[in-house]
């Protein structure tokens, strides 16, 4: 399948044209940004929707994190920021790196200070 033009069926049964040659408007209510229905503007990873997103098409201002719209992105309370401290395992070597790359969950003491190995 080429990605310039194709048809998809949304979960509600609606068939739409998609692809980077299909002109569209951001689907966020009230936004009129001109986009296309290519993968760069897709919420989720699969046209039509999947467990990662709804399959809607949004401008860069309304896609967050891992290409998710406001409704599909994790709750803000669940978003962790990398701490960037020198002993942070997010930036170190080892198996912990892949688990922390999107946000810091390195162990801290009761005062919030990063625990170090030594």
Sheet holding 34-37, edge to edge: 6-9, 15-25, 34-37
The ranges assigned to domains in the chain are 6-62, 80-118
**Token pair for 61:** 């201002």
Query: CA-to-CA distance for 81 and 65, rounded, in angstroms?
Result: 12
Is the pLDDT higher at 54 or at 81?
54
Are 89 and 114 contacting, i.e. CB atoms less than 8 angstroms apart? no
What 3-state class would DSSP assign to 114? strand
Q: Summarize the confidence of residues 33-43 as an average pLDDT.
A: 95
Average pLDDT, the chain: 76
Total count of residues recorded for the chain:
118
- pLDDT value, residue 98: 38
The residues, ordered by sequence, that sit 6+ positions from 73 with a Cβ below 8 Å of its Cβ are 64, 65
Q: Is it the case that residue 41 has pLDDT exceeding 70?
A: yes
Q: Is it the case that residue 92 has pLDDT exceeding 70?
A: no
- pLDDT value, residue 80: 46
**Token pair for 30:** 């009230």
Is the pLDDT higher at 105 or at 29?
29
Minimum mean pLDDT range among 37-51, 54-68, 86-100: 86-100
């Amino acid at each position: 399948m080429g990605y310039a033009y194709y048809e998809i069926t949304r979960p509600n049964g609606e068939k739409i044209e998609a692809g980077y040659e299909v002109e569209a408007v951001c689907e966020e209510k009230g936004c009129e940004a001109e986009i296309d229905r290519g993968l760069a503007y897709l919420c989720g990873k699969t046209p039509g929707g999947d467990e990662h997103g709804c399959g809607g098409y949004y401008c860069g201002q309304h896609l967050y994190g891992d290409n998710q719209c406001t409704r599909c992105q994790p709750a803000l309370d669940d978003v962790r920021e990398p701490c960037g401290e020198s002993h942070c395992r997010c930036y170190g070597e080892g198996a912990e790196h892949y688990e922390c790359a999107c946000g810091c969950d390195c162990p801290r003491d009761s005062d919030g200070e990063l625990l170090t190995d030594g």
